[in-house]
Structure 1
Amino acid sequence: MAEIAVSVALFFIEEVISYFDNKGNVGSDLQAEVRALGRWLRKAQAHLKDMEGAESNESLKEHMHQIRDLAYDIEDVLNEYMLCVQHRIHKHKFSNKAHGFFTSVIHRSLLNDVESKIKEIKRKIGEIGALDPIRANINVASAEEGSTSSSSVNVPPQLLEDEIIGFENPRKKLVHQLTRGGSSRSTISVVGPAGSGKTTLVKSVYESKEVRGHFDSHAWLRVSCFFKLEKLICSMLKQIGVPKELIPHEGVDVQAKVLRDHLQQKSIFPEDHSIECGRLIRLWIAEGFVMKERGKTLEEVAEEYLNELIGRNLVHVSKWDFDGRARSCRLQNLLLEFIVSKSEDENFVSILSEPNDSSSSEKVRRLSIHNAGTNLSWSTRFSWVRSTFFFRWDGLSPSHIGNVLCNFRYLRVLDLQDAPLEEFPEYVVDLSLLRYLSLRRTNIKTVPKSIKKLSHLQTLDLRQTYVTELPAKILQLQNLRNLLVYRYNVQNYVTLNSVEGVAMSAGIGGWTALQKLSLVKPDKQGKIIKELEALKQLRKLGLIDLKRKDGKNLCSSIQKMQSLLTLDLSSIRNESLDLDHMPSPPPHLQRLYLKGHLEKLPGWISSLHNLFRIVLKWSGLQGSPLGTLQDLANLVALELVDVTSGKELVFRAGKFRKLKILRIEQFHRLHTMIIEEGTMPELQKLTLCRCVELKILPLGINNLTHLKELLLYDMPKDFVAQLQKTSDDRDMVSHIPLIHSFTLGSNQLSFQNLS
């Protein structure tokens, strides 16, 4: 954790130095002091790396804590300086001359205070001693530990797995039930005569690495014929780590509450809470955890960090994307308790999970609030909070949230996802150091002009809100990297107008650091379309309400986005997408969504060799699109909705070599679907939806030997009848493990299991 604190402090050293370089009128003494602190931090960073593995040495551990605290102090004084400068500049409006004069006055008024704090930091640096002696002690400490470790560590006797000969199959079955079963509570009984080895078998399962690694808490209880429930729960509470002073010895209800609450209070995210990988990466960047690397974006570096953690089994992937990439993740249960304890010890994060919780840390850096009823009355320790996360919003009012957050002056990350908010919280714009703001899945409808005050903002997440227009002042946020604003309004089936984006003023060409922009409506004059060409770092672009006349300028802008991975384009109703003007499409494009009428399928699609997902909706093509798509080497997922009016769909032999997911929807005239032998050899999921004329099973469906799921939505009764177990055609699908049919009627969805 000390390494993280030093890295973050270095990040802000660089930011302040960049500010100095831009302003040019900052005192030279202050600049020299800040640069000197940067040199010390880099030296400390190198020594901390050398000290890895020596944390058990108490002397070195104390040195590491002192370095961490100094890094925190450096970060605090830099943030305070930037906060004061930014607050006073935003508070007044001046001419350029007056602005320059006022800035110099600000600097003079701040110099004494900042320099005095830096002197205090330098005094502390002198107190902990030079870093070189610390480095010299490392090898000595390691040698001392190595000479005594084998004799001082007492390993408790464990039941070895090879001592349960004859129980291999029952053991495997029990382990599988415990680690692969559902998340609900369950009881597994092991029955047999006395002396048959039941206890030996269960003990081996209990102590196995598979089970220990899967569960966060474990307890071994012996229950006799006559027992007291209070004693059993007390024993369980002790084994799962509840402090003795918190264990009630009487009252089953009280004990049960302590047990439940303890198991629920688990970086920043609660126990078993998964987080989207993209969200995690954006949070890391906002916190300053990600270091710049030449030739890579911060997002690419962060993704490498995450993949390394996954590769080392320190992070568990809870959901994989169809292309084999991690979509969401969580901490391994085996590590969770250790990391939480370590984080609180290192003052990295404080977790409040009960109404009367309070943190023991003097300066809380990150606050995770797991209970909406938690008492968050003002305390000086909260003034240092950098990130805050809320969970379980029930019972927490907007005014309560505001009363708490208005005191978090140094906040960088504010995640209000799912908060009970009807309006944009005005107090947020006074958090001028904010880098990450999420109001996702709230009921806000507008964004104020004062959003311009958040000049450090990198991520603004307004997905699934009611915001349909952004103020022109938002264009002043020059550090913005992610602007995500859209709402899906899906009732029964997706239609062209089921997704809403935002309208905004022209001027986005200044957002040169932007990575994700979705979903935006072009202005009537088409200026935004032309300005897109300046966003050369863009990785995701989503536009709606496009017109045919936008086509040439849009294609010209898109082909300059060499880093683009996702392209999502929708036409306005009764207009066509004109996209056949792109001789050199983005070479790394992975996801393509085209929604709206197409006079013909763009020819450049066949050259997208990195494309692994394509969605075409309401294209209205005269012929089949399969000829263009079938040779895409890495295509994994294909979704076609009302793409053609053709009566026949043929998947040719040897094509779609890597396709795993296929969805065919609203092919209103389709009556024959042919699957030739050798096509789609890897297909695992096939969905057929509202193809009203398709009354016979796809010819050759028996060739799809890897097919695991066949899902039907509002398909003709004749089609569904052929899937019944009594049908003569049942043999064609007997190899498919899961076959489900859904029918929508009177606003109710009926379900039929045909597996």
Structure 2
Amino acid sequence: MIAFLRVADAAEDDDPELKVWIKQVRDVAYETEDIIDGFMLQLHRKNDCCCSGVCDFLGKLFCSVRNLKTRYETAAEIQSIKSRMTEIAEGHRRYRYKFNVAEEGSASGFGSNHGIDPRVDALLLEETKLVGIENPKKQIIPWLVEGESRLKVVSVVGMGGLGKTTLVKKVYDDSVVKKHFQNHAWITVSQSFEVEELLKDLIQQLFHQMKQSPPENLSTMNVNRLKGIIKEFLRERRYLLVFDDVWSIQSWEYIKYMLPNENCGSRVILTTRLIDVASSCSKETDGHVYELNPLSEKDSWTLFSQKTFMGNPCPTHLIEICNNILKRCGGLPLAIVAISGVLSTKKETSIDEWKLLNWSLGSELEGNDVLESMRIILLLSFNNLPYYLKPCFLYLSSYPEDHQIEHNTLIRQWIGEGFVKCKEGKTIEEVAQGYINELVNRSLLFPVKTNDDGSVKVSCIHDFYREIILLKSRDQNFLTTNNEQNMIWPRRVRRLSVHGTLRNTEIERYGTRLCSFLSFRVEDHKSILSILQLLKSCKILKVLDLRGVPLENFPEAILYMFHLRYLSLRNTMIKRLPRSIKKLQKLEILDLKETFINELPIEILELQYLRHLLVYRHVPGSYLPYDYVHGFKILKGMGSLKFLQKLGVIDAYPGSVALKELAMMTELRRVSITKLRTEDGVALCLCIEKLQNLCSLGLRSVEGDVLDLSHLSSPPLSLQRLYLTGRLAKFPHWIQSLQSLVKVYFRWSQLRDDPLEYLQDLPNLVHLEFLATYVGEKLSFKAGKFQKLKLLGLDKLEPLRWVIIEEGAMPCLEKLIIQRCNSLKGVPDGIERLSNMKVLEFFDMPDEFVAPLSLEKHGGEYWKIAHIPQVYHTYWRNGCWEVYPLDGKQTNEQSGQPKNAIVRTQEQRNWL
């Protein structure tokens, strides 16, 4: 059934009858999974009963009879499934003539082109005056008509509906471009293309342009003969070829070998939705990649107004509704044009019609001809996904609109669901990260925040793609989102995502088939009671995320979820775990961050499949105190959890026991240890040497004790992030050997040696922060050093008087933060050389330091920082941060706050 669905999935949108048939197969597949899960649960319960009961002959016989009953019931259900499959097989035979799945065993019969030309977006955009296209056009044209004479590829990449085809068509038709090239041709590639047809189309265009007849017998020529004709025709000519809608690198491989490179200044333009296709095709010719972005708010409104109101002003009573609708379009030209086309038919006096469209946009996508065209175009990206990525992408429909999706959480949820398949030589987390990279590469996820190494940390999904996958999820009964008060519940709910409230008197009946439950912003008492009632009926749940729900006690119902793999109680008020947590034998991820739990029951050691154990709570405050995070006490025997990859935060006291246990967890990738004492030095270093898979290491000593790392001789060379908090007798010289280090924090180190001497040659260091790290008066960044550093933070270096940046040091630095360095005489000498600087911020620095930097102080030091776009001085006052732009221009004004101040909470200081 799964193999069939893998092939048929992309075709169901084209044929309503086929859609019904595929839904039947999918329902049976779901039911089969439920039967298997239910059988395993019942068998587990019976075995538990036998083990804990009377173990004599009669007791064993009784258990055998009960097991036999379970097996008999399961057998009956399987027979029912087989009968239904026989009926479905009959349907299969009726469709076989149309979709030759059995004969060919491939997806060739499904979803080849959906009967829709994906260039419809360009045609739609031609209906109105183009907006926001001139600047991209001005950038691309010089790439075509200027530069080296050898063949170059220019790739235009972006999500579906951004107007890639429209932009390239305008470039292609530009008079300057037309005059520059002797031959031109436009070829549409699309998802599934026949090489022969593509080559014949190209030949006909080229010969027609020269007013020549194409070769005889063109229709019977093979691929090699066709390529030879094209290559010979284009030889010693300056040509421009457009290959529109390229979906794979392999497609380009079919094409590139027929293109002669005679140093005539020829060019090729590709349009694609895939970043790796764009970069790969352009890189090998040293070409260019233009990444098309959504329209700005201004251009979006201009385009919207032109289509909706025919250039007339928007009526005042519709402005708020229009802004809400436009916000959901997210700068996507196709969406703006399609929706404004629908709105242009609405009466401007009937405000209810406009409100209704805004509220019911998801259902309108299926019920309106114009919006249906847009839906089909966006569906191309979904249907083109590999089968293993489709459930991962559909899972994003569980997140609320505009929600920022944290990748670490998403990866753990995917793993809990069983979506991620193991690959040899990779951890399952690394495979899942690859899935995310694929979605980003396909422009289906948009990066919001990145890690220091450039990988994406947080992303979001475009509102219209979210609407598409919401509809898909609903059709396939993949996931139900409870974000409407009067929603129609499906007969069976497999995955449930609750946004805000959960009110349903019969809610418990939906839990019996539920395999995933996620909650967002659930706080009211009635909703919490509904959730607890629902959980009582959840027997086959695999993923449970209750983050942010104000629970004070661990819900007892969780303990009966035999299949549970992922459990998040993050940001709840729970204070302890019950000893019966041991019942969750399949648990792999346990997230207790920001709860009040600081001790774990000894029974946690029976959860042998644990991979991620997160137990810690941060201390709020304006600045990080020394003990800024509280962890948990490690248990004797915890080293038996062999599969642990992420563990935090461990209270090491007493160090000898904790470090011995920790050293046995050789699969650890990330660990953080607190409350280390001076006498733990030898044991700590021996422990670290055994954890050679570590990528992230955090160490903090007891305040006043030395963090002794002098005995470490073979550090984990895979380390990328290192956080050291505590007094260091001397700088750990082994850090110089960590070529993979990306981020380094030194806090309260009180070093007498200049730490820059040991860090300056690390080839991949991007992020460096010092907090009370150095007691010297001068820091000097030497010429040519810190070649990749992008973020530098200097905090509470009280004796520091001078910072010197020599020529060629830190050439990539983008952000510099200086705070509480009260002895500093002025901005770093040489800061004017840092041409890539974007942000300079001073926190709680003396007035005499800031004053010479003001614009009003002519002849001061402002000239050194004049090239930096954003410069702020910031102070902690009245429980929040007041941020003042240096130039005195008002950036944001809030009632009751000092003039020119931007107010931030502590959480908004995301650089910490």
Q: Is the pair's TM-score, using the shorter chain for normalization, greater than 0.5?
A: yes
Deviation of 1:211 after TM superposition, in Å, equals 2.1
The reply to whether residue 736 of structure 1 matches residue 702 of structure 2 is no
* Of 552, 559, 563, the match for 1:429: 559
Deviation of 1:209 after TM superposition, in Å, equals 11
2:840–2:872 CA contact under 8 A, matched in 1: yes
* Of 349, 363, 366, the match for 1:227: 349
The reply to whether residue 211 of structure 1 matches residue 177 of structure 2 is no
* Of 804, 812, 818, the match for 1:688: 818
- Spell out, residue by residue over 1:16-56, the C-alpha distance to the aligned partner (whole angstroms, 9 max, x if none): xxxxxxxxxxxxxxxxxxxxxxxxx6xx42x4444464333
Secondary structure of residue in 1 paired with 2:82: helix
1:456–1:477 CA contact under 8 A, matched in 2: yes
Higher deviation after alignment, 421-430 or 671-680: 421-430
Aligned AA (1:443): M
Counterpart for residue 675 of structure 2: 545
Counterpart for residue 694 of structure 2: 564
CA 1:632 to 1:213, structure 2 compared with 1: closer, same or farther past 3 Å? Answer: farther
Higher deviation after alignment, 424-433 or 736-745: 424-433
Aligned-partner Cα distance in 2 for 1:663–1:504: 33
1:506–1:523 CA contact under 8 A, matched in 2: no
Aligned-partner Cα distance in 1 for 2:855–2:652: 53
* Of 52, 59, 72, the match for 1:112: 72
Secondary structure of residue in 2 paired with 1:600: coil
Aligned-partner Cα distance in 2 for 1:511–1:148: 50
Deviation of 1:474 after TM superposition, in Å, equals 1.0
Counterpart for residue 129 of structure 1: 89
Deviation of 1:330 after TM superposition, in Å, equals 2.4
Counterpart for residue 269 of structure 1: 399
Aligned-partner Cα distance in 2 for 1:60–1:188: 38
Deviation of 1:399 after TM superposition, in Å, equals 3.3
2:646–2:671 CA contact under 8 A, matched in 1: yes
Aligned-partner Cα distance in 1 for 2:71–2:348: 74
- Spell out, residue by residue over 1:654-684, the C-alpha distance to the aligned partner (whole angstroms, 9 max, x if none): 0000000000011110111111111000000
Counterpart for residue 494 of structure 2: 365
Counterpart for residue 554 of structure 1: 684
2:508–2:533 CA contact under 8 A, matched in 1: no
* Of 594, 600, 610, the match for 1:464: 594
Which stretches in structure 2 are left out of the alignment for 5+ residues? 139-161, 164-291, 315-321, 368-395, 888-912
Deviation of 1:742 after TM superposition, in Å, equals 1.2
* Of 384, 387, 392, the match for 2:516: 387
Higher deviation after alignment, 458-467 or 429-438: 429-438
1:364–1:382 CA contact under 8 A, matched in 2: yes
Deviation of 1:276 after TM superposition, in Å, equals 0.5
Aligned AA (2:84): K
Matches within 5 A, 1:470-485: 470-485=600-615
CA 1:643 to 1:161, structure 2 compared with 1: closer, same or farther past 3 Å? Answer: farther
- Spell out, residue by residue over 1:508-562, the C-alpha distance to the aligned partner (whole angstroms, 9 max, x if none): 1111111110001124262231122221221111111112222222222322323
Higher deviation after alignment, 464-473 or 348-357: 348-357
Secondary structure of residue in 1 paired with 2:398: coil
* Of 5, 30, 35, the match for 1:72: 30
Higher deviation after alignment, 107-116 or 693-702: 107-116
The reply to whether residue 54 of structure 1 matches residue 6 of structure 2 is no
Deviation of 1:387 after TM superposition, in Å, equals 0.7
Matches within 5 A, 1:24-423: 44-45=2-3, 47-51=4-8, 53-55=10-12, 56-57=14-15, 60-90=18-48, 94=52, 101=60, 107-129=67-89, 135-136=101-102, 149=115, 158-160=124-126, 168=134, 179-181=295-297, 211-212=332-333, 218-220=339-341, 221-222=343-344, 227-234=349-356, 241-242=363-364, 267-360=397-490, 362-375=491-504, 377-378=506-507, 380-397=509-526, 398-423=528-553
Secondary structure of residue in 1 paired with 2:883: strand
Aligned-partner Cα distance in 1 for 2:611–2:101: 40
CA 1:238 to 1:274, structure 2 compared with 1: closer, same or farther past 3 Å? Answer: closer
Aligned-partner Cα distance in 2 for 1:667–1:472: 43
Across the two proteins, how many residue pairs are aligned to each other?
Answer: 683
Which stretches in structure 1 are left out of the alignment for 5+ residues? 1-40, 246-265
1:315–1:331 CA contact under 8 A, matched in 2: yes
Aligned AA (2:438): E
Deviation of 1:179 after TM superposition, in Å, equals 4.0
Secondary structure of residue in 2 paired with 1:699: coil
- Spell out, residue by residue over 1:692-748, the C-alpha distance to the aligned partner (whole angstroms, 9 max, x if none): 111322111111111111111111222111211133211011011111111235656
CA 1:413 to 1:748, structure 2 compared with 1: closer, same or farther past 3 Å? Answer: closer
Aligned AA (1:135): V
Secondary structure of residue in 1 paired with 2:397: coil
Deviation of 1:689 after TM superposition, in Å, equals 0.9
Aligned-partner Cα distance in 2 for 1:276–1:745: 31
Aligned AA (1:754): L
Higher deviation after alignment, 234-243 or 434-443: 234-243
Deviation of 1:494 after TM superposition, in Å, equals 0.7
Aligned-partner Cα distance in 2 for 1:94–1:148: 59
- Spell out, residue by residue over 1:182-241, the C-alpha distance to the aligned partner (whole angstroms, 9 max, x if none): 9xx9999979xx999999xx9xx9999952468799344349998343354456667764
Secondary structure of residue in 2 paired with 1:128: helix
Aligned AA (1:478): Q
Secondary structure of residue in 1 paired with 2:446: strand
Higher deviation after alignment, 568-577 or 235-244: 235-244
CA 1:162 to 1:599, structure 2 compared with 1: closer, same or farther past 3 Å? Answer: same
1:376–1:404 CA contact under 8 A, matched in 2: no
CA 1:139 to 1:506, structure 2 compared with 1: closer, same or farther past 3 Å? Answer: closer
Aligned-partner Cα distance in 2 for 1:440–1:232: 40
Counterpart for residue 211 of structure 2: none
Aligned-partner Cα distance in 2 for 1:624–1:148: 65
Counterpart for residue 535 of structure 1: 665
Counterpart for residue 389 of structure 2: none
CA 1:558 to 1:404, structure 2 compared with 1: closer, same or farther past 3 Å? Answer: same
* Of 713, 716, 723, the match for 1:583: 713
Deviation of 1:391 after TM superposition, in Å, equals 2.3
Aligned-partner Cα distance in 1 for 2:136–2:781: 46
Aligned-partner Cα distance in 1 for 2:123–2:756: 63
Aligned-partner Cα distance in 2 for 1:649–1:588: 28
The reply to whether residue 715 of structure 1 matches residue 673 of structure 2 is no
Counterpart for residue 504 of structure 1: 634
Aligned-partner Cα distance in 1 for 2:495–2:406: 19
* Of 435, 440, 455, the match for 2:570: 440
Deviation of 1:68 after TM superposition, in Å, equals 2.2
Aligned-partner Cα distance in 2 for 1:698–1:144: 63
CA 1:150 to 1:92, structure 2 compared with 1: closer, same or farther past 3 Å? Answer: closer
Aligned AA (2:567): L
- Spell out, residue by residue over 1:88-123, the C-alpha distance to the aligned partner (whole angstroms, 9 max, x if none): 455676499679948756533422222222333333
Aligned-partner Cα distance in 2 for 1:471–1:380: 33
The reply to whether residue 607 of structure 1 matches residue 729 of structure 2 is no
RMSD: 4.0
What TM-score, normalized to structure 2?
0.68
Aligned-partner Cα distance in 2 for 1:482–1:385: 23
Using the aligned pairs only, state the percent identity: 35
CA 1:389 to 1:217, structure 2 compared with 1: closer, same or farther past 3 Å? Answer: farther
Aligned AA (1:393): V
Higher deviation after alignment, 510-519 or 132-141: 132-141
1:641–1:667 CA contact under 8 A, matched in 2: yes
CA 1:313 to 1:636, structure 2 compared with 1: closer, same or farther past 3 Å? Answer: same
CA 1:289 to 1:178, structure 2 compared with 1: closer, same or farther past 3 Å? Answer: closer
